[in-house]
């Protein structure tokens, strides 16, 4: 059963929380797939609050200076961009700041509604050198990701700020093979999540997981294949449908448009993944353990399909696999990696002749391949 364990949680700064999580056990190849999906959602799709605009008394544009105030307006906008807010709002909210100098203006001088709090009250905004009064009005919005000031419509008189809504600052992940056996069929996904303090990494991971589940549970096979077109292209609905129909025909799933992924067999799910990978006409195709969990006959079908699509579309296909049957069936250039480094490179022919210890220990741990090698060397 899949489990998620928090290995470590550290508050490095007021606005930086790091947690490390272990997700597993997973089958070979699943860690990379899940890690990429979670990373994208964590960085792009979680909601947060940010100051989207500010109106400063007697200031008409961002290139102004304010008498008796240390920073110019551009620097003030950059400092306001660093203010991290925590809370939930259903619509844009206004807040105000009135400061009588001299002194230092920080985030705690902003008059916020009860449903919004500051992660770092001491975030610096500007300094006032005299008894001057500085008045500001802020527009706070909820959103996702990063919104450039140029794409941020505001009421008249407000200066736009690049709004950083995303509560997750950084995500790293890597894969660990379970146990000491490098040929093990299990792996663990290690996630490192840094948040800005408005939510914890645990909350971020929970929200991202729920969002991914809602996305994929609600997609038919056709919608699943169309997903990268929606994400990375600006094609019309009819253009996307044509591309999806073509991709599904190529993998022999033309009658499966309206099926749900849960209704598909293991082999069908692999073909859906291939259709989704080729629907955007890539120059490169990366297949991570494409035969994992398949019976030998279905594995050969998937191997042949990948090989045919590679030749038909004149693309470069890179396959990461532990399946030597697949390597010998369709591999042209073969590279063995150990501890992330290239240990050997060659072809299907030279693999039988090599004395490289990494290759021989892995390939010829199987009695079948020992016999195949012996027969090959006797014939040559």
Taking alpha carbons only, the member of 296, 317, 298 closest to residue 308 is 317
Residue 312 is predicted with a pLDDT of 92
Mean pLDDT of all residues in 115-126: 95
Q: Is the pLDDT of residue 83 over 60?
A: yes
What's CA 267's distance to the chain center, in Å?
Answer: 26
Class of the CATH-defined domain 47-164: mainly beta
Residue 95 is predicted with a pLDDT of 95
Q: What's the CATH superfamily of 3-46+167-213?
A: RNA polymerase, RBP11-like subunit (3.30.1360.10)
CA distance 218 to 221: 10
Please state the domain extents for the chain. 3-46+167-213, 47-164, 219-281
Residue 178 is predicted with a pLDDT of 62
Residue 260 is predicted with a pLDDT of 82
Residue 192 is predicted with a pLDDT of 96
Mean pLDDT of all residues in 353-357: 82
Contact 268, 276 (CB under 8 A): no
Element (H, E) at 355: none
Work out the pLDDT band at 179, boundaries 50, 70, 90.
low
Residue 348 is predicted with a pLDDT of 80
Phi, psi dihedrals of residue 294, rounded to the nearest 5°:
-105, 150
Mean pLDDT of all residues in 264-293: 89
Kindly list the distances between the CA atom of residue 178 and the CA atoms of 43, 182, 187, 350, in Å, as whole numbers in the listed order.
Answer: 27, 8, 5, 31
User: Phi-psi region for residue 108, left (φ > 0), alpha (ψ -120 to 50) or beta?
Assistant: alpha
Residue 155 is predicted with a pLDDT of 86
CA distance 271 to 251: 6
CA distance 277 to 246: 13
Of the chain, the percentage scoring pLDDT greater than 70 comes to 94
Of the chain, the percentage scoring pLDDT greater than 90 comes to 51
Q: Is 237 exposed, middle or buried (0-12, 13-18, 19+ CB in 10 A)?
A: exposed
* Interval 196-247: pLDDT, tens: 999 999 999 999 998 888 777 778 899 889 988 887 788 899 999 999 999 9
Residue 80 is predicted with a pLDDT of 95
CA distance 299 to 308: 14
Q: Is the pLDDT of residue 29 over 80?
A: no
Contact 339, 332 (CB under 8 A): no
Q: Is the pLDDT of residue 332 over 90?
A: no
Residue 279 burial (CB count, 10 A): 22
Contact 104, 124 (CB under 8 A): yes
Q: What is the mean pLDDT of the chain?
A: 88
Residue 91 is predicted with a pLDDT of 92
Contact 54, 77 (CB under 8 A): yes
Q: Is the pLDDT of residue 16 over 80?
A: yes
CA distance 195 to 13: 10
Mean pLDDT of all residues in 107-122: 94
Compute the radius of gyration of the chain from its Cα atoms.
Answer: 28
Contact 332, 318 (CB under 8 A): no
Kindly list the distances between the CA atom of residue 7 and the CA atoms of 193, 194, 280, in Å, as whole numbers in the listed order.
Answer: 12, 14, 38
* Interval 283-319: pLDDT, tens: 889 888 888 888 889 999 999 999 999 999 999 999 9
């Amino acid at each position: 059963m899949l489990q998620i364990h928090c290995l470590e949680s550290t508050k490095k700064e007021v606005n930086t929380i790091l947690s490390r999580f272990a997700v597993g056990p997973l089958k070979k190849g699943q860690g990379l797939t899940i890690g990429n999906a979670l990373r994208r959602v964590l960085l792009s799709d979680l909601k947060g609050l940010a100051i989207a605009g500010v109106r400063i008394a007697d200031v008409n544009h961002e290139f102004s200076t304010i008498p008796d105030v240390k920073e110019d307006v551009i620097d003030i906008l950059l400092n306001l961009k660093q203010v991290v807010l925590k809370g939930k709002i259903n619509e844009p909210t206004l807040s105000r700041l009135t400061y009588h100098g001299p002194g230092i203006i920080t985030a705690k001088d902003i008059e916020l509604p009860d449903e919004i709090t500051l992660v770092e009250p001491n975030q610096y905004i500007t300094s006032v050198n005299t008894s001057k009064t500085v008045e500001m009005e802020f527009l706070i919005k909820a959103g996702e990701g990063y919104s450039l000031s140029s794409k941020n419509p505001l009421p008249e008189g407000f200066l736009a700020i690049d709004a950083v809504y995303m509560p997750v600052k950084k995500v790293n992940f890597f894969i660990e093979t379970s146990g000491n056996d490098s040929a093990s069929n299990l792996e663990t996904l290690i996630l490192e999540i840094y948040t800005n303090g408005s939510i914890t990494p645990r909350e971020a991971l929970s929200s991202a997981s729920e969002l991914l589940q809602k996305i994929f549970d609600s997609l038919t096979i056709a919608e699943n294949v169309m997903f990268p077109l929606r994400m990375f292209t600006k094609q019309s609905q009819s253009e996307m449908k044509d591309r999806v129909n073509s991709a599904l025909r190529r993998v022999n799933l033309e009658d499966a448009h309206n099926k749900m992924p849960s209704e598909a067999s293991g082999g069908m799910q692999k073909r859906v993944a291939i259709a989704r990978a080729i629907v955007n006409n890539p120059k490169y195709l990366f297949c991570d353990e494409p035969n994992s969990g398949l019976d030998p006959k279905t594995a050969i079908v998937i191997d042949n399909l990948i090989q045919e699509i590679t030749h038909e579309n004149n693309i470069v296909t890179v396959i990461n696999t532990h399946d030597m049957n697949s390597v010998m069936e369709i591999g042209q250039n073969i590279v063995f990696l150990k501890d992330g480094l290239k240990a050997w490179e060659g072809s299907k022919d030279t693999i039988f002749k090599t004395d490289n210890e990494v290759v021989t220990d892995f390939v010829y741990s199987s009695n079948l391949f020992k016999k195949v090698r012996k027969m090959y060397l006797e014939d040559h």
